[in-house]
């Protein structure tokens, strides 16, 4: 079995990165993203799945509930996932580049692919046994296998490919919207004919089924709502068996679109921004201020426009489909705006104690991400506290705040005594085929720039 000191031209060529080599800005950004992703995921943990985009389904759609929905939809929908994707792409360049510069040779590829395959295993466990249907470690690992071949492209090519994929995403969404208009019209005509006593053709029946399937993405049928509640109310084995079909559908059937048009463009952008020194905090304050101004000037109006389309349609499926045609561009603009503000704060050193805590959260991103699932599973499933569908949307954010506080406290305390988060330690030990030193003061390896994870 090969150990880190047995490969490469010098000792430690494929060992985890030292603490001194960490990039503070990336850790802080990662910490913000791992906390922020819970702000979006919490509705899917605590309410019917469709309530994530449609507040009329579950959790309340008035007062503070609607305010929370509007703020998160315009300001944060998809942005934390976007930042995670940027950082994931950057991590591929950092990890492989560091090993190649140290003389690891072909071992750099072996370590990278081994990391991705272990992440894939963690992802499958996460959505099948830990019960988080919306997890994206699985999808990210597959993206990582592809990204290896794109890591050495110039930033211009990486940004060009990303732009092309985003344009294709918009085209696919627009095509889906037009198809939705036609499908709805055909289904309405068929239902009218059926109400008039006309025997429907197979094509008409198929049109009704197709539209009902489309509508179910934003508004569950009574049967589907009852099914979701049932797997949250029973025992753990019943929950695993109940949600596995839905999880498989989300993770496998819907993966290609997210893989090509949602995740990969942002990962490629992250690779380019790392090489350009943007996300490491190496650019000027003027650059980051420009990012904030331009990003928000585009992203906020586009987000409000998309929200207005949904509200004007009374949360109808066609409203969501029409809003999706510009979604990737409004999301990208908001990510740029958020990055600008965050990197200005990091460069200025404001709220330094908070930055240190966020950096610790970021160093333990995988552990904190999985801990959020374990906590929410205990809160919302019947074999735990059984709070599923009991809290209103705004109340869920009290839960989010409590988890944030806990993770901001426990992450620095943990890292004061240990070199890695618990799941980071496991991941690295499996990746390097060698048990990594855990307590501080034993061995030399601390942290690792590859510790980037994300959730949808």
Per-residue pLDDT at 226: 95
pTM, full prediction: 0.90
Cα(57)–Cα(216) distance, rounded to whole angstroms? Answer: 11
List, in sequence order, every residue forming a beta bridge with 135; answer none if it has no partner.
455
**Residue length, the chain?**
456
The rounded Cα 208 to chain-centroid distance in angstroms is 33
Dihedral angle of Cα 97, 99, 102, 105, to the nearest 10 degrees: -100
Is the separation of the CB atoms in 166 and 261 below 8 Å?
yes
- The position carrying tokens 């040779």 is 105
Per-residue pLDDT at 3: 35
Question: Closest Cα partner for 105 from 13, 3, 1, 17?
Answer: 13
355 to 30, 169, 369: CA distances (angstroms)? 11, 35, 18
Cα(179)–Cα(174) distance, rounded to whole angstroms? Answer: 9
212 to 62, 196, 221, 310, 339: CA distances (angstroms)? 26, 20, 9, 18, 39
The 3-class secondary structure across 204-238, one letter per residue, is HHHHHHHHHHHHCCCCCCHHHHHHHHHHHHCCHHH
24's tokens: 């503070």
- Cβ within 8 Å of residue 136, ≥6 positions away: 81, 123, 258, 263, 454, 455, 456
Count Cβ atoms within 10 A of the Cβ of residue 148 and give its class: 0-12 exposed, 13-18 middle, 19 or more buried.
middle
- Cβ within 8 Å of residue 49, ≥6 positions away: 133, 220, 228, 246
Task: Report residue 446: phi and psi, to 5°.
Answer: -140, 130
Per-residue pLDDT at 14: 52
Q: What angle do CA 226, 247, 55 make, to 5 degrees?
A: 50
Is the separation of the CB atoms in 155 and 93 below 8 Å?
no
38 three-class SS: helix
Question: Closest Cα partner for 10 from 100, 104, 107?
Answer: 104
List, in sequence order, every residue forming a beta bridge with 215; answer none if it has no partner.
none
Question: Closest Cα partner for 340 from 348, 330, 328?
Answer: 348
395 to 318, 384, 436: CA distances (angstroms)? 29, 18, 41
> How many CB atoms within 10 Å of residue 120?
18
DSSP line for 125-194: HHHHTS--TTB-HHHHHHHHHHHGGGTTS-HHHHHHHHHHHHHHHHHHHHHHHHHHHHHHHHHHHHHHHH
Instruction: Give the H/E segment covering residue 379.
Output: helix 365-380
List, in sequence order, every residue forming a beta bridge with 455; answer none if it has no partner.
135
Q: pLDDT 10s digit of each residue in the chain, 456 long?
A: 333 333 333 334 555 544 444 689 999 999 999 999 999 999 999 999 999 999 999 999 999 999 999 999 999 999 999 999 999 999 999 999 999 988 888 899 999 999 999 999 999 999 999 999 999 999 999 999 999 999 999 999 999 999 999 999 999 999 999 999 999 999 999 999 999 998 999 999 999 999 999 999 999 999 999 999 999 999 999 999 999 999 988 888 877 777 888 999 999 999 999 999 999 999 999 999 999 999 999 999 999 999 999 999 999 999 999 999 999 999 999 999 999 999 999 999 999 999 999 999 999 999 999 999 999 999 999 999 999 999 999 999 999 999 999 999 999 999 999 999 999 999 999 999 999 999 987 544 333 333 344 333
Per-residue pLDDT at 10: 36
Is the separation of the CB atoms in 423 and 118 below 8 Å?
no
**Strand ranges inside 382-438, DSSP E:** none
291's tokens: 């990012």
Per-residue pLDDT at 2: 36
Per-residue pLDDT at 252: 84
């Amino acid at each position: 079995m090969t150990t880190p000191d047995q490969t490469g031209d010098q000792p430690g060529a494929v060992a985890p990165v030292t603490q001194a080599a960490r990039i503070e800005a990336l850790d802080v950004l990662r910490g913000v993203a791992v906390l922020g992703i819970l702000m979006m995921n919490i509705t899917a943990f605590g309410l019917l799945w469709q309530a994530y985009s449609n507040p009329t389904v579950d959790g309340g759609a008035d007062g503070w509930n609607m305010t929370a929905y509007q703020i998160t939809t315009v300001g944060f929908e998809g942005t934390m996932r976007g930042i995670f994707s940027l950082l994931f792409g950057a991590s591929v360049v950092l990890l492989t580049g560091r090993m190649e510069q140290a003389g690891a040779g072909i071992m750099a590829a072996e370590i990278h692919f081994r990391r991705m395959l272990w992440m894939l295993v963690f992802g499958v466990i996460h959505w099948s046994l830990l019960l988080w249907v919306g997890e994206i470690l699985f999808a990210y690992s597959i993206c990582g296998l592809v990204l290896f071949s794109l890591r050495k492209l110039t930033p211009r090519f990486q940004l060009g490919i990303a732009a092309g994929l985003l344009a294709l995403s918009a085209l696919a969404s627009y095509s889906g919207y037009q198809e939705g208009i036609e499908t709805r019209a055909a289904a309405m005509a068929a239902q009218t004919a059926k109400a008039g006593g006309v025997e429907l053709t197979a094509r008409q029946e198929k049109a009704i089924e197709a539209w009902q399937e489309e509508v179910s993405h934003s508004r569950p049928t009574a049967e589907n709502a009852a099914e979701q509640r049932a797997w949250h109310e029973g025992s753990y084995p019943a929950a695993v068996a109940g949600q596995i079909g839905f999880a498989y559908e989300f993770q496998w059937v819907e993966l290609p679109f997210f893989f090509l048009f949602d995740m990969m463009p942002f990962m490629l952008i992250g690779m380019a921004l790392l090489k350009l020194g943007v996300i490491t905090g190496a650019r000027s304050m003027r650059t980051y201020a420009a990012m904030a101004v331009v990003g928000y000037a585009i992203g906020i109006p586009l987000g409000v426009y998309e929200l207005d389309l949904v509200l004007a349609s009374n949360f109808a499926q066609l409203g969501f489909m029409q809003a999706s045609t510009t979604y990737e561009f409004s999301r990208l603009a908001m990510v740029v705006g958020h990055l600008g503000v965050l990197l200005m704060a990091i460069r200025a050193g404001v709220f330094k104690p908070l930055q240190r805590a966020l950096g610790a959260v970021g160093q333990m991103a995988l552990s904190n991400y999985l801990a959020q699932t374990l906590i929410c599973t205990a809160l919302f499933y019947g074999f735990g506290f059984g709070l599923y569908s009991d809290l209103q949307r705004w109340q869920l954010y009290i839960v989010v705040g409590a988890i944030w506080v806990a993770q901001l406290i426990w992450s620095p305390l943990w890292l004061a005594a240990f070199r890695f988060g618990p799941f980071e330690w496991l991941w690295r030990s499996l990746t390097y085929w060698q048990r990594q030193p855990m307590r501080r003061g034993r061995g030399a390896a601390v942290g690792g720039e590859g510790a980037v994870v994300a959730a949808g």
